[in-house]
């Protein structure tokens, strides 16, 4: 290994742990997964992200064995797993509801899977203790699930699914039931445990922040299809479609027509009477082609006067201000009624804020700040 950076997806030699090969899943007339192919590598923390009903849970249930593909195959370490029932797969799942057995103690819950494997008593005890230590649950071992808190239950579910040392661990909205503060702590704990155990994790979530925090790669899904599969930063900085740009984080979308203007630089005519915008793009666009310009609010600078050297600058007035404490988002209305969001850090106290409602302001951004998306 020459580099410490973990990027098996860029290495053509790397063998994926899981391969979806043209998988389609239909429920009656409804297509949940539509001819989808995907590689997931060993030791990855892979996030399936999308709105509810996008098919992410179906993908997970197919990996666990609770559903079988209507067409196509799923390969796990070189083996077609379609005919293998869930109890014979080296895959474990952490359920959204945790699905802890209410009649068993925490200890017995964790031991449940090991007992099915007829593990020798001594090894079994060692393994359960190890799992209790890993999830810091030692003092709760004798309790029943209804006698512990939600966060502890979540850790029991994790310990139980990790106990059998699966090749692949599936996490179905693992943090959905926790409050925000606890969720953030638990995210880092999850990453820590994933690194310690070296298990491949596939997490299903509708929370983009969660996916970005924990995952090595994120797959954005919509209507049974993968929209983009990439690292969190690439998903955020280089979305490949308006859908992805809009789904991840906050974004301004400007619709217009592109005209080439030298090497990888385009001029976008977007509104009557507005000066054209300049943006760079590696993809080729023909002259007059319809396009969308996606600009993140934090890349838009707000100022009282027109910045002298700005490539893109437009004028408007402050329509609304969303104060988030550390940040403020300014909703700036342009002359044609379009609202553009600009975000700036509140480095000064709020009483000394530079702009207030109805103030005329200039918005500016560089040529590389925006992502140009061809229609």
Partner 1 sequence: MGRPGLAVLDSNGRGFVGELMRRAFLIAVPYVWLLALFLVPFFIVLKISLSDTALAIPPYTPTLDLSQGWSGITEFFSQLDFENFVWLTEDDLYWKAYLSSVKIALIATIFTLIFGYPIAYGMARAPEEWRPTLMMLIILPFWTSFLIRVYAWMGILSNEGYLNQFLLWIGVISTPLTILNTNTAVYIGIVYTYLPFMILPIYSALERMDESLIEAAEDLGCSRIQAFWLVTIPLSRPGIIAGCFLVMIPVIGEFVIPSLLGGSGTLMIGKVLWEEFFSNRDWPVASAVAVVLLLILVVPIVLFQRNQQKQTEAEQ
Sites of contact with partner 1 (CB under 8 A): 64-66, 85-87, 91-93, 95-97, 99, 101-103, 112-113, 116-117, 146, 160-161, 164
CB of 8 to partner 1, least distance (A): 26
Residue closer to partner 1 (CB basis): 8 or 65: 65
CB of 147 to partner 1, least distance (A): 11
Other Cβ atoms less than 10 A from the Cβ of 357: the count is 10
Q: Both tokens of residue 262?
A: 């030298």
Residue closer to partner 1 (CB basis): 65 or 297: 65
Q: Tell me the C-alpha distance between 105 and 231, whole Å.
A: 39
Residue closer to partner 1 (CB basis): 110 or 300: 110
Query: Of the candidates 302, 301, 258, which has an alpha carbon nearest to the alpha carbon of residue 276?
Result: 258
CB of 69 to partner 1, least distance (A): 18
Residue closer to partner 1 (CB basis): 97 or 283: 97
Which of 179-186's residues contact partners 24+ apart within 8 Å by CB, and which partners? 182/150, 182/151, 183/210, 184/213, 186/151, 186/154
Phi–psi pair at 6, nearest 5 degrees:
-95, 100
**Number of Cα atoms under 13 Å in the Cβ half of residue 335:** 8
Residue closer to partner 1 (CB basis): 176 or 276: 176
Q: How far is CA 290 from the centre of its chain?
A: 28
Question: Which letter does DSSP use for residue 275 in this model?
Answer: P
Task: Kindly tell me the sign of the dihedral angle through the C-alpha atoms of 276, 279, 283, 284.
Answer: positive
CB of 204 to partner 1, least distance (A): 14
CB of 182 to partner 1, least distance (A): 22
CB of 169 to partner 1, least distance (A): 11
Residue closer to partner 1 (CB basis): 66 or 323: 66
């Amino acid at each position: 290994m020459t580099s410490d950076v973990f990027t098996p997806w860029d290495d053509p030699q790397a063998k994926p742990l899981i391969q979806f090969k043209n998988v389609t899943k239909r429920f009656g007339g409804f297509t949940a997964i539509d001819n989808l192919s995907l590689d997931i590598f060993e030791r990855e923390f892979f996030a399936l992200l999308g709105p509810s009903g996008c098919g992410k849970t179906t993908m997970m249930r197919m990996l666990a064995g609770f559903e079988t593909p209507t067409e196509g195959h799923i390969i796990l370490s070189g083996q077609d797993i379609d005919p293998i029932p869930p109890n014979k797969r080296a895959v474990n799942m952490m359920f959204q509801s945790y699905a802890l057995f209410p009649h068993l103690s925490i200890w017995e819950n964790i031991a449940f899977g090991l007992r099915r494997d007829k593990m020798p008593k001594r090894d079994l005890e060692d393994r359960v203790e190890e799992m209790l230590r890993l999830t810091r649950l030692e003092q709760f071992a004798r309790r029943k699930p209804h006698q512990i808190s939600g966060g502890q239950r979540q850790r029991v579910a994790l310990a139980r699914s990790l106990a059998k040392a699966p090749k692949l661990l599936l996490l179905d909205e693992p943090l959905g039931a926790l409050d925000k503060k606890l969720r953030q702590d638990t995210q880092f704990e999850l990453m820590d445990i994933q690194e310690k155990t070296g298990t491949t994790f596939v997490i299903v979530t509708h929370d983009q922040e969660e996916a970005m925090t924990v995952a090595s790669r994120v797959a954005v899904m919509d209507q049974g299809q993968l929209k983009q599969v990439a690292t969190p930063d690439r998903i955020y900085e280089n979305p490949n479609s308006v859908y992805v740009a809009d789904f991840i984080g906050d974004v301004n979308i400007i619709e217009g027509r592109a005209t080439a203007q030298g090497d990888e630089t385009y001029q976008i005519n977007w509104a009557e009477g507005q000066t054209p915008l300049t943006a760079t793009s590696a993809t080729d666009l023909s002259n007059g082609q319809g396009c969308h310009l996606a600009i993140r609010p934090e890349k838009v600078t707000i100022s009282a006067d027109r910045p002298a050297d700005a490539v893109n600058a437009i004028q408007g007035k402050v329509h609304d201000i969303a104060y988030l404490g550390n940040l403020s988002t300014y909703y700036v209305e342009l002359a044609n009624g379009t609202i553009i969001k600009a975000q700036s850090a509140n480095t000064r106290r709020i009483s000394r804020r530079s702009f207030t409602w109805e103030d005329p302001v200039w918005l500016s951004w560089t040529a590389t700040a925006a992502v140009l998306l061809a229609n």
